[in-house]
Amino acid sequence: MPDGPAPAPVIQKLRVRYTKRGRLRFTSHRDISRAVERAVRRAGIPVAFSAGFSPHPKISYAGAAATGTASEAEYLEIGLTETRDPARVRAELDAALPDGIDVVDVVPARVGTALADRLEASEWLVRLDGVAPDAADRAVQIFLGSEMIEVERLTKKGRRRFDTRGAVAALTVEPSDAGSGTILRMVVRHATPAVRPDDVLTGLRQAADLAPPSPPLVTRLAQGPLDESTGRLADPLESDRDTHVTAGAVPGVGA
Protein backbone atom coordinates (compact mmCIF):
# COMPACT_ATOMS: atom_id res chain seq x y z
CA MET A 1 0.00 0.00 0.00
CA PRO A 2 1.24 3.55 -0.71
CA ASP A 3 2.32 5.76 2.19
CA GLY A 4 0.10 8.55 3.41
CA PRO A 5 -3.39 8.92 4.83
CA ALA A 6 -6.29 6.88 3.57
CA PRO A 7 -8.61 8.66 1.13
CA ALA A 8 -11.63 10.44 2.55
CA PRO A 9 -14.68 8.15 2.80
CA VAL A 10 -17.84 8.48 0.74
CA ILE A 11 -20.39 10.51 2.70
CA GLN A 12 -23.02 10.86 -0.02
CA LYS A 13 -23.80 9.11 -3.30
CA LEU A 14 -25.64 10.93 -6.05
CA ARG A 15 -27.28 9.50 -9.16
CA VAL A 16 -27.12 11.62 -12.29
CA ARG A 17 -29.09 11.49 -15.52
CA TYR A 18 -27.40 13.22 -18.44
CA THR A 19 -27.69 13.46 -22.22
CA LYS A 20 -25.45 12.81 -25.21
CA ARG A 21 -26.63 15.05 -28.05
CA GLY A 22 -25.55 16.41 -31.42
CA ARG A 23 -22.00 15.69 -32.53
CA LEU A 24 -21.24 14.12 -29.15
CA ARG A 25 -23.16 11.04 -30.29
CA PHE A 26 -19.90 10.08 -32.04
CA THR A 27 -17.86 10.43 -28.83
CA SER A 28 -16.70 7.21 -27.18
CA HIS A 29 -17.75 6.32 -23.65
CA ARG A 30 -14.14 6.68 -22.52
CA ASP A 31 -14.01 10.27 -23.79
CA ILE A 32 -17.38 11.01 -22.18
CA SER A 33 -16.08 9.74 -18.83
CA ARG A 34 -12.97 11.91 -19.17
CA ALA A 35 -15.14 14.95 -19.89
CA VAL A 36 -17.22 14.21 -16.78
CA GLU A 37 -14.11 13.89 -14.60
CA ARG A 38 -12.76 17.21 -15.88
CA ALA A 39 -16.13 18.86 -15.27
CA VAL A 40 -16.26 17.52 -11.71
CA ARG A 41 -12.85 19.07 -11.01
CA ARG A 42 -13.76 22.41 -12.62
CA ALA A 43 -17.03 22.57 -10.68
CA GLY A 44 -15.26 21.93 -7.36
CA ILE A 45 -17.49 18.95 -6.55
CA PRO A 46 -15.92 17.02 -3.62
CA VAL A 47 -15.64 13.64 -5.35
CA ALA A 48 -14.21 10.70 -3.40
CA PHE A 49 -11.20 8.75 -4.68
CA SER A 50 -10.25 5.10 -4.50
CA ALA A 51 -7.24 3.89 -2.49
CA GLY A 52 -4.08 2.38 -3.96
CA PHE A 53 -1.20 3.53 -6.16
CA SER A 54 -3.49 4.90 -8.92
CA PRO A 55 -6.44 6.61 -7.20
CA HIS A 56 -9.39 7.31 -9.46
CA PRO A 57 -12.59 9.27 -8.81
CA LYS A 58 -15.51 7.22 -7.58
CA ILE A 59 -17.74 7.71 -10.61
CA SER A 60 -19.51 4.68 -12.07
CA TYR A 61 -21.65 4.41 -15.19
CA ALA A 62 -24.70 2.27 -15.91
CA GLY A 63 -25.95 1.20 -19.35
CA ALA A 64 -23.88 3.60 -21.47
CA ALA A 65 -25.06 4.01 -25.08
CA ALA A 66 -22.79 2.89 -27.90
CA THR A 67 -20.63 5.30 -29.92
CA GLY A 68 -22.68 6.84 -32.73
CA THR A 69 -25.88 6.77 -30.67
CA ALA A 70 -27.47 9.85 -29.15
CA SER A 71 -29.18 9.56 -25.77
CA GLU A 72 -31.56 11.45 -23.53
CA ALA A 73 -31.08 8.98 -20.67
CA GLU A 74 -27.52 8.19 -19.63
CA TYR A 75 -26.80 7.49 -15.97
CA LEU A 76 -23.86 7.71 -13.61
CA GLU A 77 -23.32 7.52 -9.87
CA ILE A 78 -20.80 9.68 -8.03
CA GLY A 79 -19.48 9.35 -4.48
CA LEU A 80 -18.85 12.58 -2.53
CA THR A 81 -16.77 13.25 0.55
CA GLU A 82 -19.22 15.96 1.67
CA THR A 83 -23.00 16.23 1.57
CA ARG A 84 -24.17 18.54 -1.20
CA ASP A 85 -27.57 19.75 -2.36
CA PRO A 86 -28.41 17.68 -5.48
CA ALA A 87 -29.86 20.75 -7.22
CA ARG A 88 -26.60 22.63 -6.66
CA VAL A 89 -24.55 19.71 -8.02
CA ARG A 90 -26.82 19.52 -11.06
CA ALA A 91 -26.33 23.21 -11.86
CA GLU A 92 -22.58 23.25 -11.22
CA LEU A 93 -21.87 20.05 -13.15
CA ASP A 94 -24.08 21.07 -16.07
CA ALA A 95 -22.31 24.42 -16.38
CA ALA A 96 -18.88 22.73 -16.45
CA LEU A 97 -19.72 20.11 -19.11
CA PRO A 98 -19.38 20.70 -22.87
CA ASP A 99 -22.42 21.43 -25.03
CA GLY A 100 -24.25 18.21 -25.80
CA ILE A 101 -23.69 16.66 -22.39
CA ASP A 102 -26.50 18.15 -20.32
CA VAL A 103 -27.32 17.16 -16.74
CA VAL A 104 -31.05 16.48 -16.56
CA ASP A 105 -31.50 15.19 -13.02
CA VAL A 106 -29.53 14.56 -9.82
CA VAL A 107 -30.90 12.66 -6.80
CA PRO A 108 -29.37 11.11 -3.66
CA ALA A 109 -28.95 7.34 -3.99
CA ARG A 110 -31.25 5.29 -1.80
CA VAL A 111 -29.46 2.96 0.62
CA GLY A 112 -29.18 -0.68 -0.41
CA THR A 113 -30.22 -0.32 -4.06
CA ALA A 114 -28.25 -0.78 -7.27
CA LEU A 115 -29.04 1.57 -10.12
CA ALA A 116 -28.00 -0.95 -12.78
CA ASP A 117 -30.63 -3.41 -11.53
CA ARG A 118 -33.38 -0.89 -12.34
CA LEU A 119 -32.29 -0.40 -15.95
CA GLU A 120 -34.24 -3.34 -17.32
CA ALA A 121 -34.87 -1.98 -20.83
CA SER A 122 -34.35 1.00 -23.13
CA GLU A 123 -36.72 2.93 -25.37
CA TRP A 124 -35.18 3.89 -28.70
CA LEU A 125 -36.17 6.20 -31.54
CA VAL A 126 -34.73 5.13 -34.90
CA ARG A 127 -35.11 7.45 -37.89
CA LEU A 128 -35.03 5.69 -41.26
CA ASP A 129 -34.71 8.21 -44.10
CA GLY A 130 -35.98 7.01 -47.46
CA VAL A 131 -38.16 4.23 -46.02
CA ALA A 132 -41.91 4.48 -46.63
CA PRO A 133 -44.09 4.03 -43.50
CA ASP A 134 -46.21 1.30 -45.14
CA ALA A 135 -43.09 -0.72 -46.02
CA ALA A 136 -41.78 -0.32 -42.47
CA ASP A 137 -45.17 -1.29 -41.04
CA ARG A 138 -45.27 -4.51 -43.09
CA ALA A 139 -41.77 -5.42 -41.92
CA VAL A 140 -42.64 -4.71 -38.29
CA GLN A 141 -45.73 -6.91 -38.48
CA ILE A 142 -43.65 -9.77 -39.87
CA PHE A 143 -41.03 -9.23 -37.18
CA LEU A 144 -43.56 -9.14 -34.33
CA GLY A 145 -45.33 -12.21 -35.73
CA SER A 146 -42.16 -14.29 -35.62
CA GLU A 147 -41.29 -16.50 -32.65
CA MET A 148 -37.53 -16.04 -33.07
CA ILE A 149 -35.24 -14.02 -35.32
CA GLU A 150 -31.57 -14.76 -34.78
CA VAL A 151 -28.79 -12.46 -35.93
CA GLU A 152 -25.03 -12.78 -35.75
CA ARG A 153 -22.63 -10.14 -34.48
CA LEU A 154 -18.99 -9.97 -33.45
CA THR A 155 -18.74 -9.28 -29.70
CA LYS A 156 -15.84 -9.05 -27.27
CA LYS A 157 -16.26 -12.79 -26.70
CA GLY A 158 -16.20 -13.62 -30.40
CA ARG A 159 -18.96 -14.06 -32.97
CA ARG A 160 -22.30 -14.70 -31.30
CA ARG A 161 -25.79 -15.56 -32.50
CA PHE A 162 -28.75 -14.32 -30.47
CA ASP A 163 -32.49 -13.79 -30.73
CA THR A 164 -33.60 -10.24 -31.48
CA ARG A 165 -37.33 -10.95 -31.40
CA GLY A 166 -37.31 -12.11 -27.80
CA ALA A 167 -35.57 -8.93 -26.66
CA VAL A 168 -38.16 -6.57 -28.19
CA ALA A 169 -40.98 -5.64 -25.80
CA ALA A 170 -42.60 -3.09 -28.14
CA LEU A 171 -42.08 -1.90 -31.72
CA THR A 172 -44.17 0.71 -33.53
CA VAL A 173 -44.00 2.78 -36.74
CA GLU A 174 -44.79 6.45 -37.27
CA PRO A 175 -44.16 8.93 -40.12
CA SER A 176 -40.98 10.97 -39.97
CA ASP A 177 -41.38 14.68 -39.24
CA ALA A 178 -38.73 15.25 -41.92
CA GLY A 179 -41.24 14.28 -44.62
CA SER A 180 -39.75 11.33 -46.50
CA GLY A 181 -38.96 8.55 -44.13
CA THR A 182 -40.09 6.56 -41.13
CA ILE A 183 -39.53 6.53 -37.40
CA LEU A 184 -39.37 3.29 -35.44
CA ARG A 185 -39.96 3.35 -31.70
CA MET A 186 -38.77 0.26 -29.91
CA VAL A 187 -38.47 -0.91 -26.33
CA VAL A 188 -35.65 -3.42 -26.04
CA ARG A 189 -34.95 -5.50 -22.94
CA HIS A 190 -31.43 -5.43 -21.57
CA ALA A 191 -30.16 -8.94 -22.18
CA THR A 192 -26.85 -10.81 -22.35
CA PRO A 193 -25.45 -10.44 -24.92
CA ALA A 194 -26.96 -6.98 -25.36
CA VAL A 195 -29.43 -6.54 -28.23
CA ARG A 196 -28.94 -3.11 -29.83
CA PRO A 197 -31.22 -1.18 -32.20
CA ASP A 198 -28.95 -2.06 -35.13
CA ASP A 199 -29.43 -5.75 -34.26
CA VAL A 200 -33.21 -5.24 -34.47
CA LEU A 201 -32.73 -3.56 -37.86
CA THR A 202 -30.68 -6.56 -38.97
CA GLY A 203 -33.55 -8.78 -37.84
CA LEU A 204 -36.03 -6.68 -39.83
CA ARG A 205 -33.84 -7.03 -42.91
CA GLN A 206 -33.52 -10.79 -42.50
CA ALA A 207 -37.20 -11.37 -41.76
CA ALA A 208 -38.81 -8.85 -44.12
CA ASP A 209 -36.10 -7.46 -46.42
CA LEU A 210 -36.30 -3.97 -44.89
CA ALA A 211 -33.08 -2.24 -45.97
CA PRO A 212 -32.79 1.54 -45.37
CA PRO A 213 -30.83 3.32 -48.12
CA SER A 214 -28.88 5.42 -45.61
CA PRO A 215 -27.55 4.84 -42.07
CA PRO A 216 -30.25 5.23 -39.38
CA LEU A 217 -30.15 7.95 -36.73
CA VAL A 218 -30.59 6.32 -33.34
CA THR A 219 -31.53 8.07 -30.08
CA ARG A 220 -32.17 6.49 -26.70
CA LEU A 221 -35.17 8.17 -25.12
CA ALA A 222 -35.31 6.36 -21.77
CA GLN A 223 -33.98 3.56 -19.59
CA GLY A 224 -35.70 2.04 -16.59
CA PRO A 225 -37.89 -0.64 -15.06
CA LEU A 226 -40.09 -2.34 -17.68
CA ASP A 227 -43.84 -2.89 -17.30
CA GLU A 228 -44.25 -6.09 -19.32
CA SER A 229 -48.01 -5.64 -19.59
CA THR A 230 -47.74 -2.25 -21.35
CA GLY A 231 -44.19 -2.24 -22.73
CA ARG A 232 -43.56 1.10 -21.00
CA LEU A 233 -40.65 2.21 -18.86
CA ALA A 234 -40.72 3.87 -15.46
CA ASP A 235 -38.31 6.51 -14.16
CA PRO A 236 -35.41 4.62 -12.52
CA LEU A 237 -34.71 7.55 -10.17
CA GLU A 238 -38.28 7.88 -8.88
CA SER A 239 -37.77 5.79 -5.75
CA ASP A 240 -34.63 7.80 -4.90
CA ARG A 241 -36.53 11.04 -5.41
CA ASP A 242 -39.25 9.89 -3.02
CA THR A 243 -36.78 9.00 -0.27
CA HIS A 244 -37.07 11.16 2.85
CA VAL A 245 -33.69 11.32 4.61
CA THR A 246 -33.95 11.78 8.37
CA ALA A 247 -31.74 14.22 10.26
CA GLY A 248 -28.23 12.87 10.72
CA ALA A 249 -28.67 10.14 8.11
CA VAL A 250 -26.12 9.80 5.34
CA PRO A 251 -27.93 9.36 1.99
CA GLY A 252 -26.50 6.85 -0.41
CA VAL A 253 -23.88 5.19 1.80
CA GLY A 254 -24.08 1.45 1.36
CA ALA A 255 -25.90 1.70 -1.99
Q: What is the pLDDT of residues 174-207, one digit of tens each?
A: 988 766 799 999 999 998 889 999 999 999 999 9
* pLDDT value, residue 5: 76
Give the model's confidence band at 247: pLDDT under 50 very low, under 70 low, under 90 confident, else very high.
Answer: very low
By percentage, how much of the chain surpasses pLDDT 90? Answer: 79
The yes or no reply on domain 120-233 and CATH 3.30.70 is: yes
- How large is the average pLDDT for residues 206-217? 94
- How large is the average pLDDT for residues 223-247? 82
- How large is the average pLDDT for residues 154-170? 90
**Taking Cα atoms as reference points, which of 124, 233, 141 lies closest to residue 183?**
124
Flag whether pLDDT at 21 surpasses 80: yes
Is residue 197 within 8 Å of residue 122, measured between CB atoms? no
Q: What is the pLDDT of residues 116-158, one digit of tens each?
A: 999 999 999 999 999 999 999 999 999 999 999 999 988 777 8
- How large is the average pLDDT for residues 212-232? 95
* pLDDT value, residue 135: 95
* pLDDT value, residue 245: 43
d(CA 35, CA 37): 5
Query: pTM for the full model?
Result: 0.89
Q: What is the pLDDT of residues 90-108, one digit of tens each?
A: 999 999 999 999 999 999 9
Task: Delimit the domains of the chain by residue range.
Answer: 12-117+236-241, 120-233
* pLDDT value, residue 251: 38
Domain pair 12-117+236-241 / 120-233, same fold: yes
- Percentages helix, strand, coil for the chain (3-state, rounded to 5) are 25, 35, 40
Flag whether pLDDT at 255 surpasses 70: no
Q: Which CATH class is domain 12-117+236-241?
A: alpha beta
- How large is the average pLDDT for residues 47-72? 93
